[in-house]
Structure 1
Amino acid sequence: MGKKNVVNNYLDEQLGLIETWLNTFSQNRKPESLHALRVCIKKTKAILYFSETLFKKPFGKKKLDNLFHKAGTLRELYIIILLMQKSLPVSEKLTLPLMKKRTLLEQQFLEKIPRYIKEVRLFRKELSLPEKLPSKKVILSYFKKREKRADKKLHNRNRTTLHYYRRDIKKMMYVYEMLPKKLKKEIGLNKTKTDRLQEKIGLWHDTWTAFIFLSKQSFSKQIKNILSDLKEKEKKQFKKLFL
């Protein structure tokens, strides 16, 4: 990277952590490591999107997309299997096909980790953003527009737009976390309130994703009962988001 500023320093740190979590997952194969990896990628992508929007230059915001989606597909299977095993009265016979699929995807992902690390290192070496942040006025305007856009999605009370709300608000919060304290104060985001809502939406989204995934599978009659339970759980979680 070129000369360091708050943005370059933050990106350099996140790209280093992406490599760390890839190595960690190759050793422990735990879904928590995949989650941490994806969070670091989300943070990196959020800052790159912010930078490309304000500087009106490309900085490679899509360079990590392949790694992000591969890790996401694998983690989604971990979540679905866990939901079936812990929250639902399901037999091992029903989870076995998913566990086999998870094992296959996990092995494919592990085999590609050396390549992913090489790509991340190269990106980290080449990436360099302008030395100075945009003006305070430009940054405040960015947050005002993004917050307004996100709130509109939330108030639609639609399942698809709700997922996009969470994605947009997380992008905004990742950029917010990176900024100097004085600037954060002027932006005035309610981080505690936003984090609580994000957590609730995340739990709802896990249930919703599991329901959508399982409804497309060919399982026995027992799955119909499981889907019914999941649907009821999803409805309650969705309703609570707006209380």
Structure 2
Amino acid sequence: MKKKEEINQLDKLWKNMKKPLKAFLASGNQEDLHQFRVNVKKLKALLTLYAFAPDSKDLLTHFKPVKKIFRKAGDIRSAYINLKLAKEHQLNNQEFNDHQQQILDKGTGEFKKKGSKYLKQLKKAHIALQNNIQPLQNRTIRHFYKDKITQIESFFANPAFNDELHNARKNIKLLTYNQKVAAKALKNKVAVKQSYLDQLQEIIGNWHDHNVAIEVLDGTGKAGDNAINNIKASNAGLEKTITEQGNNFREKVSAGKEIPVKNQPQ
């Protein structure tokens, strides 16, 4: 993969990330904020692939300003989701609702005030990344995929329903987000079944969302036992499905074709 092509991919995702951010700064619309965060994750996935090259180990350090803005947006998003959960599960706790609304309103106001500063930081980070990207060999892309597949396979050999499952999902998303960029390097070399990965990460995402809901509702001390128990029962079913879907991961992800694991190219 030539440097020019890598920069073009970076620029494309960067544009997709900035557009909803600017829209949120103008309107405060939560969907725009959500799309900003989704596109930051896609950008980080691309840069994680680029950073796998021997000469690009420090590439992600130039992404740190974006991650800081991402976390600020996450605080706002969490308050919004907590309010949605409270309404969905009829959590009649005015103190909780008022506190979350305060976080949402204050966070949004401060975020929008710093909008110009954030956009300048993004521009500076973008230029730094463009200047530090190095050519990425096809064999390095293939090794990246093989390495992540091995890590995910190792997890599902003895799955645990804790933060490690969330980390496994992050690795799955590294494969799915980079699929189009990596397609040429993988062709006829490494088989990756996209539909299987999409389905698996979605189930894990539902499990994670349920755990967040349980934590929020349980932490208030005001949620009805039925509401929490229903979510826990649903999660038990998801855990069974995740275990079944993750079993024989390598065989399923490679559509029945074994993916050999080789030493990292020099």
Q: TM-score range by the shorter chain?
A: 0.7 to 0.9
State the SS of the aligned residue for 1:22.
helix
Does structure 1 residue 104 correspond to structure 2 residue 103?
A: no
Deviating runs (4+, > 3 A) in structure 1? 129-132, 213-217, 222-230
How many residues end up aligned between the 2 structures?
Answer: 236
- Percent identity at matched positions? 24
Letter of the aligned partner of 1:234 in structure 2? N
How far apart are the structure 2 equivalents of 1:85 and 1:238? 26
2:209 pairs, out of 206, 209, 226, with 206
Q: Compute the displacement of 1:92 (Å).
A: 6.4
For 2:171 and 2:219, locate their aligned partners in 1 and report how far apart those are by CA, in whole Å: 28
Query: Which position in structure 1 is the counterpart of 2:232?
Result: 231
Unaligned runs of 5+ in 2: 245-266
Counterpart-to-counterpart distance in 2, 1:238 and 1:103: 36
| 32-41 vs 70-79, which moves further | 70-79
Partners of 2:30 and 2:102 in 1: CA distance: 16
Task: Point out the more displaced range, 121-130 or 188-197.
Answer: 121-130
Q: 1:229 to 1:97 in 2, by over 3 A?
A: farther
Q: Distance in 2 between matches of 1:61 and 1:118?
A: 14
Instruction: Verify the 8 A CA contact 1:14 1:40 in the aligned structure 2.
Output: yes
Determine the structure 2 residue equivalent to 1:89. 90
State the SS of the aligned residue for 2:51. Answer: helix
Tell me how far 1:199 sits from its aligned partner. 1.5
Q: Is the 8 A contact 1:17 1:40 kept in 2?
A: yes
Matched, 1:215 2:223: no
Counterpart check, 1:145 vs 2:147: yes
Determine the structure 2 residue equivalent to 1:51: 50
5+ residue gaps, structure 1: none
1:143 alignment partner, SS class: helix
TM-score, normalising length: structure 1: 0.84
SS where residue 243 of structure 2 aligns? coil
Q: Does 1:195 align with 2:198?
A: yes
Q: 1:80 to 1:52 in 2, by over 3 A?
A: same
Matched ranges for 1:125-144 at <5 A = 125-128=127-130, 129-130=132-133, 132-134=135-137, 136-144=138-146
Q: Residues 104, 162 of structure 1: CA spacing in aligned structure 2 closer, same or farther, 3 A cutoff?
A: same
